[in-house]
Amino acid sequence: MFGGKRSAPCPYCYEGVDVAAPAFRCSGRPAPGRVACQKQQDDVRVTVLDDATPGFPAFHPERGRRLGTAYEAECPHCSGPTGIRLCPNCHSTLPANFTASSPVFGLVGVRGSGKTVLLSVLAAELTSAVARRFGASIDTVGNSALLGRLQSVRQSLEPGGDGRLPAQTAAFTKADTVPAVFEWQMTRQRRGLGGGTDSTILSFYDTSGEDLATLDRAREQHYLAATDGLILLLDPFGLPENRDTALARGVNPENLDDTPMQVLSAVTGMLREADRLGPNKKIKRPLAVVLAKIDAFFAEVDSDHPIRRLPGNRPVFDERESLDLHHHVEALVERWGGDDVLRHLRFNYTSHRFFVASALGAEPDYASARVNGRGLRPHRVAEPLLWLMAERGFLVKER
Ligand SMILES: Nc1nc2c(ncn2[C@@H]2O[C@H](COP(=O)(O)OP(=O)(O)OP(=O)(O)O)[C@@H](O)[C@H]2O)c(=O)[nH]1
Ligand SMILES: [Mg+2]
Ligand SMILES: [Zn+2]
Ligand SMILES: [Zn+2]
Protein backbone atom coordinates (compact mmCIF):
# COMPACT_ATOMS: atom_id res chain seq x y z
CA MET A 1 0.00 0.00 0.00
CA PHE A 2 2.86 2.37 0.85
CA GLY A 3 5.18 0.82 -1.67
CA GLY A 4 5.63 4.04 -3.68
CA LYS A 5 8.89 5.87 -3.18
CA ARG A 6 7.32 9.17 -2.18
CA SER A 7 5.13 7.89 0.59
CA ALA A 8 5.75 6.41 4.04
CA PRO A 9 3.41 5.84 6.98
CA CYS A 10 3.20 8.71 9.45
CA PRO A 11 4.94 7.47 12.63
CA TYR A 12 1.99 8.73 14.70
CA CYS A 13 -1.18 7.74 12.81
CA TYR A 14 0.24 5.27 10.21
CA GLU A 15 -1.57 6.94 7.31
CA GLY A 16 0.60 7.21 4.19
CA VAL A 17 2.31 10.61 3.96
CA ASP A 18 3.46 11.93 0.58
CA VAL A 19 6.82 13.38 1.62
CA ALA A 20 6.69 15.77 -1.33
CA ALA A 21 3.45 17.32 -0.08
CA PRO A 22 3.42 17.65 3.72
CA ALA A 23 1.25 20.09 5.64
CA PHE A 24 2.99 22.78 7.68
CA ARG A 25 2.57 24.62 10.95
CA CYS A 26 3.27 28.33 11.29
CA SER A 27 6.47 28.95 13.27
CA GLY A 28 4.91 31.93 15.08
CA ARG A 29 7.44 34.31 13.50
CA PRO A 30 5.55 36.64 11.09
CA ALA A 31 7.04 38.35 8.05
CA PRO A 32 8.26 41.90 8.85
CA GLY A 33 5.35 44.24 9.43
CA ARG A 34 2.73 41.48 9.68
CA VAL A 35 0.60 40.58 12.71
CA ALA A 36 1.81 37.41 14.44
CA CYS A 37 -0.39 34.31 14.40
CA GLN A 38 -1.90 33.23 17.73
CA LYS A 39 -1.89 29.72 19.18
CA GLN A 40 -5.23 27.99 18.86
CA GLN A 41 -6.77 24.56 19.22
CA ASP A 42 -6.12 22.39 16.16
CA ASP A 43 -9.41 20.69 15.25
CA VAL A 44 -7.65 17.99 13.24
CA ARG A 45 -5.57 16.97 16.26
CA VAL A 46 -8.67 17.01 18.43
CA THR A 47 -10.53 14.72 16.03
CA VAL A 48 -7.74 12.31 15.14
CA LEU A 49 -5.64 12.18 18.32
CA ASP A 50 -7.89 13.68 20.98
CA ASP A 51 -5.24 16.35 21.63
CA ALA A 52 -6.50 19.88 22.33
CA THR A 53 -3.11 21.48 23.08
CA PRO A 54 -3.07 24.93 21.39
CA GLY A 55 -0.55 25.48 18.60
CA PHE A 56 0.15 27.92 15.78
CA PRO A 57 -2.08 27.45 12.73
CA ALA A 58 -1.59 24.44 10.47
CA PHE A 59 -2.01 24.80 6.72
CA HIS A 60 -1.75 22.85 3.50
CA PRO A 61 0.28 24.92 1.06
CA GLU A 62 -0.98 25.00 -2.48
CA ARG A 63 1.49 23.93 -5.07
CA GLY A 64 3.56 26.95 -6.06
CA ARG A 65 3.11 28.61 -2.66
CA ARG A 66 5.82 26.41 -1.25
CA LEU A 67 9.22 27.97 -0.84
CA GLY A 68 11.22 25.93 -3.32
CA THR A 69 11.33 22.61 -1.48
CA ALA A 70 8.87 20.52 0.49
CA TYR A 71 10.90 21.38 3.58
CA GLU A 72 9.71 24.97 3.85
CA ALA A 73 6.53 26.92 3.24
CA GLU A 74 5.06 30.34 3.86
CA CYS A 75 2.23 30.84 6.36
CA PRO A 76 -0.90 32.06 4.52
CA HIS A 77 -1.89 34.20 7.55
CA CYS A 78 1.32 36.02 8.54
CA SER A 79 3.56 35.23 5.55
CA GLY A 80 6.27 34.00 7.91
CA PRO A 81 8.49 31.15 6.65
CA THR A 82 8.23 27.81 8.41
CA GLY A 83 10.01 24.48 8.25
CA ILE A 84 7.67 22.64 10.63
CA ARG A 85 6.36 19.77 8.48
CA LEU A 86 3.19 18.01 9.54
CA CYS A 87 1.42 14.82 8.67
CA PRO A 88 -1.59 15.98 6.60
CA ASN A 89 -3.83 13.44 8.32
CA CYS A 90 -3.11 13.95 12.03
CA HIS A 91 -1.08 17.21 12.07
CA SER A 92 1.75 15.65 14.09
CA THR A 93 5.15 17.22 13.54
CA LEU A 94 7.17 14.94 11.28
CA PRO A 95 10.65 14.14 12.62
CA ALA A 96 13.38 16.15 10.88
CA ASN A 97 14.76 13.05 9.17
CA PHE A 98 11.43 11.55 8.17
CA THR A 99 11.69 10.31 4.58
CA ALA A 100 9.81 7.94 2.32
CA SER A 101 12.04 5.10 3.55
CA SER A 102 11.55 5.60 7.30
CA PRO A 103 10.59 2.20 8.71
CA VAL A 104 7.80 1.47 11.14
CA PHE A 105 8.06 -1.53 13.44
CA GLY A 106 5.09 -2.83 15.37
CA LEU A 107 4.83 -4.78 18.57
CA VAL A 108 1.86 -7.08 18.98
CA GLY A 109 0.76 -9.58 21.56
CA VAL A 110 -2.41 -10.40 23.42
CA ARG A 111 -3.51 -9.49 26.91
CA GLY A 112 -0.86 -9.97 29.52
CA SER A 113 1.92 -11.02 27.16
CA GLY A 114 4.17 -8.32 28.59
CA LYS A 115 3.99 -5.55 25.96
CA THR A 116 3.82 -2.55 28.25
CA VAL A 117 6.66 -3.63 30.51
CA LEU A 118 8.81 -4.62 27.54
CA LEU A 119 8.25 -1.35 25.69
CA SER A 120 9.04 0.71 28.76
CA VAL A 121 12.31 -1.15 29.25
CA LEU A 122 13.13 -1.07 25.53
CA ALA A 123 12.66 2.71 25.45
CA ALA A 124 15.28 3.07 28.19
CA GLU A 125 17.68 0.53 26.64
CA LEU A 126 17.51 2.22 23.24
CA THR A 127 18.47 5.64 24.53
CA SER A 128 21.29 4.29 26.74
CA ALA A 129 22.91 0.85 26.25
CA VAL A 130 21.97 0.40 22.58
CA ALA A 131 22.99 3.96 21.68
CA ARG A 132 26.36 3.41 23.36
CA ARG A 133 26.88 0.03 21.69
CA PHE A 134 26.34 1.41 18.19
CA GLY A 135 27.87 4.85 18.79
CA ALA A 136 24.48 6.18 17.76
CA SER A 137 22.32 9.03 18.85
CA ILE A 138 18.90 7.64 19.72
CA ASP A 139 16.30 9.99 21.09
CA THR A 140 12.61 10.19 21.60
CA VAL A 141 10.80 12.51 19.21
CA GLY A 142 7.87 14.71 20.17
CA ASN A 143 5.80 13.61 23.11
CA SER A 144 2.98 11.17 23.20
CA ALA A 145 0.92 9.98 26.12
CA LEU A 146 2.61 6.62 25.61
CA LEU A 147 6.14 7.93 26.15
CA GLY A 148 5.02 9.46 29.44
CA ARG A 149 3.24 6.29 30.48
CA LEU A 150 6.25 4.11 29.67
CA GLN A 151 8.47 6.34 31.75
CA SER A 152 6.20 6.16 34.78
CA VAL A 153 5.93 2.37 34.45
CA ARG A 154 9.72 2.17 34.55
CA GLN A 155 10.01 4.51 37.50
CA SER A 156 7.71 2.41 39.63
CA LEU A 157 9.70 -0.74 38.78
CA GLU A 158 13.12 0.74 39.51
CA PRO A 159 14.62 0.85 43.01
CA GLY A 160 12.84 3.57 44.94
CA GLY A 161 9.61 3.02 43.01
CA ASP A 162 6.57 1.29 44.46
CA GLY A 163 7.39 -2.00 42.68
CA ARG A 164 3.92 -2.22 41.19
CA LEU A 165 3.48 -3.74 37.72
CA PRO A 166 1.24 -1.75 35.35
CA ALA A 167 -2.48 -2.43 35.32
CA GLN A 168 -3.95 -3.86 32.15
CA THR A 169 -3.53 -1.30 29.39
CA ALA A 170 -6.74 0.67 28.95
CA ALA A 171 -9.02 -0.19 26.07
CA PHE A 172 -8.50 1.91 22.99
CA THR A 173 -8.71 5.66 23.49
CA LYS A 174 -7.19 7.89 20.84
CA ALA A 175 -4.69 9.63 23.11
CA ASP A 176 -3.49 6.32 24.59
CA THR A 177 -2.65 4.77 21.28
CA VAL A 178 -0.39 7.48 19.88
CA PRO A 179 2.86 5.57 19.31
CA ALA A 180 6.20 6.24 20.95
CA VAL A 181 8.57 7.58 18.29
CA PHE A 182 12.37 7.41 18.27
CA GLU A 183 14.99 8.76 15.91
CA TRP A 184 18.18 6.73 15.48
CA GLN A 185 21.13 8.47 13.84
CA MET A 186 24.53 6.98 13.26
CA THR A 187 27.48 6.84 10.93
CA ARG A 188 26.52 4.80 7.89
CA GLN A 189 27.26 1.09 8.37
CA ARG A 190 26.32 -0.28 4.99
CA ARG A 191 29.29 -1.27 2.92
CA GLY A 192 30.05 0.42 -0.36
CA LEU A 193 27.98 3.50 0.33
CA GLY A 194 30.72 5.70 1.70
CA GLY A 195 30.56 7.74 4.90
CA GLY A 196 27.73 10.00 5.93
CA THR A 197 24.93 9.64 8.41
CA ASP A 198 22.05 7.20 8.32
CA SER A 199 18.90 7.93 10.20
CA THR A 200 15.87 5.86 10.98
CA ILE A 201 12.60 6.77 12.56
CA LEU A 202 11.22 4.03 14.78
CA SER A 203 7.61 3.96 15.78
CA PHE A 204 6.12 1.55 18.33
CA TYR A 205 2.58 1.39 19.52
CA ASP A 206 1.23 -0.43 22.54
CA THR A 207 -1.92 -2.39 21.91
CA SER A 208 -4.42 -2.45 24.71
CA GLY A 209 -5.09 -5.56 26.75
CA GLU A 210 -7.58 -7.23 24.50
CA ASP A 211 -8.10 -10.85 23.85
CA LEU A 212 -8.68 -12.10 20.35
CA ALA A 213 -12.46 -12.09 20.75
CA THR A 214 -12.63 -8.36 21.48
CA LEU A 215 -9.77 -7.20 19.28
CA ASP A 216 -10.58 -4.20 17.10
CA ARG A 217 -9.48 -5.91 13.92
CA ALA A 218 -9.87 -2.90 11.63
CA ARG A 219 -7.63 -0.72 13.75
CA GLU A 220 -5.09 -3.46 14.34
CA GLN A 221 -4.98 -4.21 10.65
CA HIS A 222 -4.38 -0.54 9.83
CA TYR A 223 -1.26 -0.61 12.02
CA LEU A 224 -0.10 -4.04 10.89
CA ALA A 225 -0.44 -3.16 7.22
CA ALA A 226 1.83 -0.14 7.60
CA THR A 227 4.67 -1.91 9.41
CA ASP A 228 7.92 -2.94 7.77
CA GLY A 229 8.55 -5.56 10.37
CA LEU A 230 6.76 -6.97 13.37
CA ILE A 231 7.71 -8.09 16.83
CA LEU A 232 5.23 -10.68 18.04
CA LEU A 233 5.33 -11.25 21.78
CA LEU A 234 4.23 -14.69 22.85
CA ASP A 235 3.67 -15.68 26.44
CA PRO A 236 5.50 -18.99 27.02
CA PHE A 237 3.15 -19.67 29.94
CA GLY A 238 0.43 -20.08 27.31
CA LEU A 239 2.10 -23.07 25.64
CA PRO A 240 0.32 -26.32 26.54
CA GLU A 241 3.08 -27.85 28.66
CA ASN A 242 3.52 -24.67 30.75
CA ARG A 243 -0.08 -23.96 31.64
CA ASP A 244 -0.11 -25.80 34.93
CA THR A 245 3.17 -24.22 36.02
CA ALA A 246 1.68 -20.80 35.25
CA LEU A 247 -1.44 -21.44 37.31
CA ALA A 248 0.62 -22.84 40.17
CA ARG A 249 2.74 -19.67 40.24
CA GLY A 250 -0.31 -17.42 40.45
CA VAL A 251 -0.58 -16.17 36.85
CA ASN A 252 -4.03 -14.73 36.09
CA PRO A 253 -5.87 -17.46 34.14
CA GLU A 254 -7.57 -14.79 32.00
CA ASN A 255 -4.17 -13.98 30.54
CA LEU A 256 -3.91 -17.57 29.31
CA ASP A 257 -7.21 -17.58 27.41
CA ASP A 258 -5.59 -17.18 24.01
CA THR A 259 -2.82 -19.65 23.29
CA PRO A 260 0.28 -18.59 21.31
CA MET A 261 -1.02 -20.60 18.37
CA GLN A 262 -4.34 -18.73 18.35
CA VAL A 263 -2.55 -15.39 18.59
CA LEU A 264 -0.21 -16.25 15.77
CA SER A 265 -2.97 -17.43 13.44
CA ALA A 266 -4.97 -14.26 14.12
CA VAL A 267 -1.95 -12.10 13.25
CA THR A 268 -1.29 -14.17 10.12
CA GLY A 269 -4.92 -13.80 9.07
CA MET A 270 -4.81 -10.03 9.48
CA LEU A 271 -1.52 -9.71 7.58
CA ARG A 272 -2.80 -11.88 4.74
CA GLU A 273 -5.90 -9.72 4.42
CA ALA A 274 -3.92 -6.50 4.72
CA ASP A 275 -1.48 -7.57 2.01
CA ARG A 276 -4.25 -9.22 -0.07
CA LEU A 277 -2.18 -12.37 -0.31
CA GLY A 278 -3.43 -15.26 -2.38
CA PRO A 279 -3.38 -18.84 -1.10
CA ASN A 280 0.04 -20.48 -0.77
CA LYS A 281 1.80 -17.10 -0.85
CA LYS A 282 4.00 -16.38 2.15
CA ILE A 283 4.05 -13.16 4.13
CA LYS A 284 7.24 -11.25 3.31
CA ARG A 285 7.33 -8.92 6.30
CA PRO A 286 10.04 -10.10 8.72
CA LEU A 287 8.48 -11.46 11.89
CA ALA A 288 10.47 -11.55 15.12
CA VAL A 289 8.78 -14.05 17.41
CA VAL A 290 9.72 -13.30 20.99
CA LEU A 291 9.15 -15.56 23.97
CA ALA A 292 8.64 -13.00 26.70
CA LYS A 293 9.10 -13.50 30.47
CA ILE A 294 11.91 -15.96 29.72
CA ASP A 295 13.41 -15.48 33.20
CA ALA A 296 10.61 -17.73 34.43
CA PHE A 297 12.21 -20.65 32.57
CA PHE A 298 15.90 -20.16 33.36
CA ALA A 299 15.79 -22.91 35.96
CA GLU A 300 14.72 -25.42 33.28
CA VAL A 301 17.93 -25.12 31.25
CA ASP A 302 21.68 -25.25 31.90
CA SER A 303 23.39 -22.04 32.95
CA ASP A 304 25.22 -21.78 29.59
CA HIS A 305 22.06 -22.30 27.49
CA PRO A 306 21.74 -19.55 24.83
CA ILE A 307 18.53 -18.20 26.37
CA ARG A 308 20.48 -17.29 29.52
CA ARG A 309 23.66 -16.10 27.85
CA LEU A 310 24.22 -12.37 27.50
CA PRO A 311 24.18 -11.16 23.89
CA GLY A 312 27.36 -9.73 22.34
CA ASN A 313 28.17 -6.09 22.70
CA ARG A 314 29.81 -5.26 19.38
CA PRO A 315 28.18 -2.68 17.08
CA VAL A 316 26.94 -5.29 14.58
CA PHE A 317 24.11 -7.78 14.43
CA ASP A 318 25.66 -11.16 15.22
CA GLU A 319 23.84 -13.46 12.80
CA ARG A 320 25.54 -16.65 13.97
CA GLU A 321 24.71 -16.04 17.61
CA SER A 322 21.12 -15.17 16.65
CA LEU A 323 20.65 -18.32 14.56
CA ASP A 324 22.04 -20.48 17.34
CA LEU A 325 19.53 -18.97 19.75
CA HIS A 326 16.77 -19.38 17.15
CA HIS A 327 17.36 -23.13 16.91
CA HIS A 328 17.51 -23.58 20.67
CA VAL A 329 14.24 -21.67 21.09
CA GLU A 330 12.59 -23.81 18.42
CA ALA A 331 13.56 -26.87 20.44
CA LEU A 332 12.09 -25.33 23.61
CA VAL A 333 8.85 -24.42 21.85
CA GLU A 334 8.61 -27.97 20.59
CA ARG A 335 9.28 -29.34 24.06
CA TRP A 336 6.53 -27.09 25.49
CA GLY A 337 3.98 -28.46 23.04
CA GLY A 338 4.16 -25.66 20.46
CA ASP A 339 5.03 -27.76 17.39
CA ASP A 340 1.94 -26.31 15.64
CA VAL A 341 3.46 -22.83 16.08
CA LEU A 342 6.66 -23.97 14.36
CA ARG A 343 4.82 -25.46 11.40
CA HIS A 344 2.57 -22.42 11.03
CA LEU A 345 5.57 -20.09 10.89
CA ARG A 346 7.32 -22.19 8.26
CA PHE A 347 4.31 -22.31 5.97
CA ASN A 348 3.23 -18.69 6.28
CA TYR A 349 6.32 -16.47 6.56
CA THR A 350 9.33 -16.12 4.30
CA SER A 351 11.39 -14.71 7.15
CA HIS A 352 10.85 -15.33 10.83
CA ARG A 353 13.28 -15.55 13.72
CA PHE A 354 12.84 -16.62 17.33
CA PHE A 355 14.05 -14.51 20.23
CA VAL A 356 13.68 -14.54 23.97
CA ALA A 357 13.34 -11.55 26.24
CA SER A 358 12.88 -10.71 29.84
CA ALA A 359 11.97 -7.16 30.69
CA LEU A 360 12.13 -7.70 34.43
CA GLY A 361 15.08 -10.11 34.63
CA ALA A 362 13.50 -12.04 37.47
CA GLU A 363 10.06 -13.37 38.25
CA PRO A 364 7.58 -11.01 39.89
CA ASP A 365 4.89 -12.07 42.32
CA TYR A 366 2.23 -12.62 39.68
CA ALA A 367 -0.75 -12.64 42.01
CA SER A 368 0.06 -9.34 43.75
CA ALA A 369 1.61 -7.79 40.59
CA ARG A 370 4.78 -6.72 42.36
CA VAL A 371 8.33 -6.98 41.05
CA ASN A 372 11.20 -8.73 42.67
CA GLY A 373 13.00 -6.34 45.02
CA ARG A 374 16.24 -6.25 43.03
CA GLY A 375 14.75 -3.91 40.43
CA LEU A 376 14.89 -4.18 36.65
CA ARG A 377 17.53 -6.31 34.99
CA PRO A 378 16.38 -6.46 31.37
CA HIS A 379 17.70 -9.37 29.32
CA ARG A 380 17.90 -9.39 25.48
CA VAL A 381 15.10 -6.86 24.99
CA ALA A 382 16.68 -5.02 22.03
CA GLU A 383 17.70 -8.05 19.91
CA PRO A 384 14.41 -8.42 17.97
CA LEU A 385 14.52 -4.78 16.92
CA LEU A 386 18.19 -5.02 15.95
CA TRP A 387 17.37 -8.02 13.76
CA LEU A 388 14.58 -6.11 12.00
CA MET A 389 16.97 -3.22 11.40
CA ALA A 390 19.66 -5.58 10.09
CA GLU A 391 17.09 -7.21 7.77
CA ARG A 392 16.45 -3.75 6.33
CA GLY A 393 20.16 -3.18 5.79
CA PHE A 394 20.45 -0.47 8.40
CA LEU A 395 22.81 -2.53 10.56
CA VAL A 396 25.59 -4.79 9.36
CA LYS A 397 24.99 -8.51 9.81
CA GLU A 398 28.07 -10.41 10.84
CA ARG A 399 27.98 -14.06 9.92
N1 LIG B 1 8.51 -13.44 34.67
C2 LIG B 1 8.20 -12.32 34.01
N3 LIG B 1 6.93 -11.86 34.00
C4 LIG B 1 6.65 -10.73 33.31
C5 LIG B 1 7.66 -10.00 32.60
N6 LIG B 1 7.07 -8.93 32.02
C7 LIG B 1 5.76 -8.98 32.33
N8 LIG B 1 5.51 -10.07 33.14
C9 LIG B 1 4.21 -10.48 33.72
O10 LIG B 1 3.19 -10.22 32.77
C11 LIG B 1 2.21 -9.34 33.31
C12 LIG B 1 1.68 -8.45 32.23
O13 LIG B 1 2.68 -7.55 31.77
P14 LIG B 1 2.27 -6.27 30.90
O15 LIG B 1 3.49 -5.61 30.39
O16 LIG B 1 1.29 -5.43 31.62
O17 LIG B 1 1.53 -7.01 29.70
P18 LIG B 1 0.66 -6.36 28.54
O19 LIG B 1 0.84 -7.23 27.35
O20 LIG B 1 0.94 -4.92 28.39
O21 LIG B 1 -0.79 -6.58 29.18
P22 LIG B 1 -2.14 -5.84 28.70
O23 LIG B 1 -1.91 -4.38 28.74
O24 LIG B 1 -3.14 -6.32 29.71
O25 LIG B 1 -2.39 -6.36 27.34
C26 LIG B 1 2.94 -8.59 34.42
O27 LIG B 1 2.03 -8.13 35.38
C28 LIG B 1 3.86 -9.68 34.96
O29 LIG B 1 3.15 -10.53 35.83
C30 LIG B 1 9.01 -10.51 32.65
O31 LIG B 1 9.96 -9.95 32.08
N32 LIG B 1 9.21 -11.66 33.37
MG1 LIG C 1 -0.24 -3.32 28.42
ZN1 LIG D 1 -0.22 11.23 10.99
ZN1 LIG E 1 1.51 32.42 10.72
Amino acid, res. 207: T
Give the CA angle between residues 96, 199, 393 to the nearest 5°: 150
Return the pLDDT at 118. Answer: 94
What mean pLDDT is reported for the chain? 88
Using the predicted structure, report yes or no on whether residue 1 has a pLDDT greater than 70: no
Do 366 and 252 meet the contact criterion of CB atoms below 8 Å apart?
Answer: yes
The verdict on 112 and 71 lying in the same domain is no
Q: How far is the CA of 205 from the centre of ligand 3 (A)?
A: 13
Tell me the residue range of the domain where 38 lies: 1-98
Question: Considering the entire predicted model, what is its pTM?
Answer: 0.91
Output the residue whose Cα is nearest ligand 1's atom 22. 209
Q: Between these two residues, 380 and 270, which has the higher pLDDT value?
A: 380
Q: How far is the CA of 113 from the centre of ligand 2 (A)?
A: 8
Distance CA 248, CA 237 (A): 11
- Looking at all shown ligands, the one closest to residue 17's CA atom is 3
The verdict on 180 and 136 lying in the same domain is yes
CATH of the domain at 265: 3.40.50.300
The verdict on 25 and 148 lying in the same domain is no
Using the predicted structure, report yes or no on whether residue 3 has a pLDDT greater than 50: no
Pocket test for ligand 1, best of 107, 113, 117 (most atoms within 8 A of CB): 117
Using the predicted structure, report yes or no on whether residue 131 has a pLDDT greater than 90: yes
The verdict on 25 and 111 lying in the same domain is no
Of 98, 114, 147, which one is at a domain's C-terminal end? 98
Residues touching ligand 1 (Cβ under 6 Å) are 109, 111-117, 165-166, 168-169, 209, 293, 295-296, 358-360, 363-364, 366, 369
Return the pLDDT at 42. Answer: 95
Do 326 and 354 meet the contact criterion of CB atoms below 8 Å apart?
Answer: yes
The verdict on 80 and 119 lying in the same domain is no
The verdict on 44 and 168 lying in the same domain is no
Of 118-127, 159-168, 215-224, 290-299, least confident by mean pLDDT is 215-224
- Mean pLDDT over 334-359 rounds to 97
Q: In what order do the strands lie in the sheet with 180-187?
A: 137-140, 180-187, 197-204
The verdict on 94 and 111 lying in the same domain is no
Do 378 and 396 meet the contact criterion of CB atoms below 8 Å apart?
Answer: no
Ligand 1 atom at shortest distance from the alpha carbon of 109: 19
The verdict on 222 and 335 lying in the same domain is yes
- Looking at all shown ligands, the one closest to residue 215's CA atom is 1
Ligand 1 atom at shortest distance from the alpha carbon of 358: 31
Q: How far is the CA of 144 from the centre of ligand 2 (A)?
A: 16
The beta-carbon contacts of 152-157 under 8 Å, at least 24 apart in sequence, are 153/116, 153/117, 153/120, 154/120, 154/121, 154/123, 154/124, 154/376, 157/117, 157/120, 157/360, 157/371, 157/375, 157/376
Q: How far is the CA of 114 from the centre of ligand 1 (A)?
A: 3
Of 5-9, 78-82, 84-88, 316-320, least confident by mean pLDDT is 5-9
- Looking at all shown ligands, the one closest to residue 36's CA atom is 4
Domain total in the chain: 2
Pairing state between β 229-234 and 352-356: unpaired
Q: How far is the CA of 147 from the centre of ligand 4 (A)?
A: 29
Instruction: For 243-265, write each residue's pLDDT tens digit.
Output: 999 999 999 998 888 889 998 99
Instruction: For 54-80, write each residue's pLDDT tens digit.
Output: 999 999 987 545 566 678 899 999 999
Ligand 1 atom at shortest distance from the alpha carbon of 209: 25
The verdict on 354 and 258 lying in the same domain is yes
Of 44, 73, 98, which one is at a domain's C-terminal end? 98
Ligand 1 atom at shortest distance from the alpha carbon of 167: 16
The verdict on 225 and 259 lying in the same domain is yes
Of 43, 65, 98, which one is at a domain's C-terminal end? 98
The verdict on 212 and 283 lying in the same domain is yes
Pairing state between β 287-291 and 352-356: parallel
Q: Between these two residues, 213 and 64, which has the higher pLDDT value?
A: 213
The verdict on 3 and 143 lying in the same domain is no
Output the residue whose Cα is nearest ligand 1's atom 10. 114
pLDDT band at 217 (very low <50, low <70, confident <90, very high): confident
